[in-house]
A and B are shown apart, each in its own frame.
Chain A
Amino acid sequence: MGNVLIIAEQFKGKLKKATLSAITLGKMVAEKSGGAVDALVMGGGVAAAADEIKVYGVKKAFLADSPALENYVAEPYAQTVAEVMKSGGHEFAFAAATAFAKDLMPRLASKFTAGMASEICGVSFDGAKPVFARPVWAGNAIAHVTIESAQKFGTVRATEFEHAKPGEAGVVTPVTVTADPAKCGVKYVGFAETKSERPELTEARVVISGGRGCKGPEGFKILEELADTLTAAIGASRAAVDSGWVPNDLQVGQTGKIVAPDLYIAAGLSGAIQHLAGMKGSKVIVAINKDSEAPIFSVADYGLVADLFKAVPELTAALKAAKA
């Protein structure tokens, strides 16, 4: 026991960077428990992701590569992880807190009637026992919890842990997949990918977010010009997403994406508690808002009380001029 299994996430055979944050937590826990850190890559035709992850100081990079796992469905994935954990004596399993892991990990935990900590943002130790810190009430309080079941599960808030550094290379270890997706009552129909030339919201160095003050898709066009200049990702408040101005998966906040870029620019966005929960960890926050009383100013390093329709184009022009 004491071994840690990291559930890797890949998209089209490429490892998601957020997984590297989960490895970091795994290493912290394993150091105290005296166990090894292994990783598990699942999918169809995803051997490259196992080769990618093995260099980050994992002992074994398990590879469950099978047509049966080509499309993610909770049950066959959970079954595959459970089998690896049982044969590998893994006490802990962690994954980055993405939509994939939020769906998978509780189902996996239920196979052991075990406890799980969601969105782990820190860890301390009571002897060798990890005490996980996790945000509750939209990040307005931090709960510290231990997990008392034999197996312990967690999702990791990627913005709160550094990416694991490459270390000694582990061994890619193939796993026989016994799960049969045809037997689990789920038919995968398809995936409508949001196409974007921009960096991914959760991985971008700069994020520009708009809210109700953008007044419509046109307001976001103005933000996009600024984003082009800064190679930034676009984010949005719930109000903007609910209005249909931008796709759903751009929502930043308690129930959307959690981001922590070097620079976060919030334009025409008031900063409801639920939104702040998703971006308070950013290194530098800039707020541009007409309303000088907007809550966003209480977390902003630099606040500019101005109309975004004037200030943002001016900012874009100034940055372009500086580049030229």
Chain B
Amino acid sequence: MKILVTSKRVTDPDMKIKVKADGTGIVTDGMNYKVNPFDEIAIEEALRIKEKGGGAEVVVVGIGGKDAALEIRSGLAMGADRGIHVLCEQAVDSSVVAQILAKVYETEKPDFVIMGKQAVDDDSNQAAQMLAGALGVPQACFASKVELAGDAKSARVTREVDGGLETIEVTFPAVLTADLRLNEPRYASLPGIMKAKKKKIDEIPVASLGVDTNPRVKFVKMTEPPTRKAGVKVADVPTLVQKLKEEAKVI
């Protein structure tokens, strides 16, 4: 069995970001980068499936410039077996990512793909669904539970949807996305980090894939979000009730 996972390099979600004064993007000086947290959950799930037996190979794919290799390496340090780095310096959108991944998929022919449900930088939540669509295979997004069938030819997936939990069965090959509560990703161990240094990452120049890399979604500018006016502290509950009644008029 082969499982394809993704590892996107994103800014540390716990760092405060700033919009550049000229509106061309965000300030990247001094930012730390890490694996998209949702991708970490996806990698963890693939590793758990592998560790349950059956001898799965976990292949981690990243797309981006030279630096993107660091996050692929992080996936290998967690325990993935091998990396694929699609070298791509230009900005891409979800549609381009899906087409690139479709090409990787065609070469690798994994049993299934599992990736994070969204990246915490552009918050699009599109690439996996577009990949599944491009490949014409089933999708099971926002998974909070994944159970492989005994013959490993399908999976029963519990999905976090509005108003409850939905369960579907998807026949492989399929594309799954990981939601927050699928698992708690492990930290890479020191031996894991050492081993990862020796694991192979294949570099593939994006131009060799024959994908139209022009983004369909064109970035125009970045602006600050509307800010809220700082409020007041109230001394006690009666004052709060009075303010809500007389000033805010919401109760």
Closest residue of A by beta carbon distance from B232: A302
* Distance, CA A104 to CA B129, complexed state (A): 8
CB atoms of A147 and B216 under 8 A apart: yes
Q: Which residues of A contact B238 (CB under 8 A)?
A: 318
* Distance, CA A324 to CA B169, complexed state (A): 52
Main secondary structure of the interface of B (DSSP, over half): mixed
Report 29 cross-chain contacts, Cβ distance below 8 Å, ordered by A residue: A100-B162, A106-B125, A106-B128, A107-B130, A107-B133, A114-B95, A115-B216, A118-B126, A136-B121, A137-B123, A140-B225, A146-B218, A185-B138, A185-B174, A186-B140, A191-B165, A191-B166, A192-B167, A194-B164, A202-B162, A206-B250, A273-B13, A273-B16, A280-B225, A292-B233, A300-B231, A302-B233, A304-B236, A319-B251
Residues facing A in B200-251 (CB within 8 A) are: 214-225, 228-234, 236-238, 240-241, 243-245, 248, 250-251
Task: Write the nearest CB–CB distance from A185 to chain B, whole angstroms.
Answer: 4
Chain A residues with CB under 8 Å of chain B are 11, 73-75, 78, 98-100, 102-111, 113-119, 131, 133, 135-149, 184-194, 200, 202, 206, 230, 238, 241-242, 248-249, 251, 254-255, 262-263, 273-274, 280, 283-286, 292, 297-306, 311, 314-315, 318-319, 322
* Distance, CA A36 to CA B99, complexed state (A): 32
* Distance, CA A111 to CA B118, complexed state (A): 20
CB atoms of A141 and B223 under 8 A apart: yes
Q: Which residues of A contact B234 (CB under 8 A)?
A: 302-304
Known: A248-B144, A315-B240. A254 touches B120 (CB 8 A): yes
Q: Which residues of A contact B13 (CB under 8 A)?
A: 138, 273-274
* Distance, CA A8 to CA B160, complexed state (A): 20
Known: A73-B168, A315-B240. A303 touches B232 (CB 8 A): yes
Q: Which residues of B contact A103 (CB under 8 A)?
A: 129, 139, 141-142, 161
Main secondary structure of the interface of A (DSSP, over half): mixed
CB atoms of A107 and B139 under 8 A apart: yes
CB atoms of B228 and A299 under 8 A apart: yes
CB atoms of B122 and A301 under 8 A apart: no
CB atoms of A142 and B216 under 8 A apart: no
Q: Which residues of B contact A187 (CB under 8 A)?
A: 168-170
CB atoms of A118 and B123 under 8 A apart: yes
CB atoms of A117 and B174 under 8 A apart: no
CB atoms of A284 and B163 under 8 A apart: no
Closest residue of A by beta carbon distance from B181: A248
Partner of B156, one of A189, A200, A202, A280: A189
Closest residue of B by beta carbon distance from A313: B237
Task: Write the nearest CB–CB distance from A74 to chain B, whole angstroms.
Answer: 5
* Distance, CA A187 to CA B136, complexed state (A): 16
